[in-house]
A and B are shown apart, each in its own frame.
Chain A
């Protein structure tokens, strides 16, 4: 069975600082995708970043980067230069062949002015 773990239920970061949100996963499938989604208090799910299991380079999208360590089975999200609008729930997710798509329990991030 596939499993995704986010061990930080809540995180705080000072505005303009960088923050790392942890995600570890467990799978025996060689092919999978790793995703991060943001859910602000308004409730919508916003896609942030994607990393394929065969990708050699870490994914980056603007202020977001994914620190992919395949041997450790970790896919941490790094947000640089935090902004007040980054305060939200952040979900790590995995997808597998057959479009199975599972989410971690989420991390609540609060950016302090």
Chain B
């Protein structure tokens, strides 16, 4: 039973389209994250939610909108996709603590914008 699952694994789309990536965790964790990994493998935090509330919102274009319907789900919606959005997007979760718990990662979504 996968702990953090994200779908789809691959997403190929045209510029200007709107797409969503879904993430679910069955670990009972309070905190969920979205990370973007670019072509140079740099992992940049985009958003962090704790119990459905946004706690970290790094400098991300407002075309990216996270949605957390409950603490087990954190979806990422992207409007008006651009070529530069092509990357691997990772969902992750962790317990809410003093920052000493590891992240559990999903398997990633490879987004290709043509």
Which residues on A are within 8 Å of B, measured CB to CB? 31-33, 35, 39, 43-45, 47, 50, 52, 89, 91, 93, 95-103, 105-106, 108
Contact = CB atoms under 8 A, between A and B. Distances in A.
A93 B71 CA distance: 24
Contacts of B44: 103
Interface SS of chain A: helix, strand, loop or mixed? Answer: strand
Given A31-B99, A35-B102, A100 B56 contact: yes
26 contacts: A31-B100, A33-B100, A33-B101, A43-B88, A43-B108, A44-B108, A45-B90, A45-B103, A45-B108, A47-B104, A50-B102, A98-B99, A99-B94, A99-B96, A99-B97, A100-B48, A100-B56, A101-B45, A101-B99, A101-B103, A102-B45, A103-B35, A103-B42, A103-B44, A103-B45, A105-B40
Contacts of A95: 99-101
A43 B90 CA distance: 10
A8 to B, nearest CB: 13
Contacts of B96: 99
B83 interface: no
B70 to A, nearest CB: 18
Nearest to A52: B100
B56 to A, nearest CB: 6
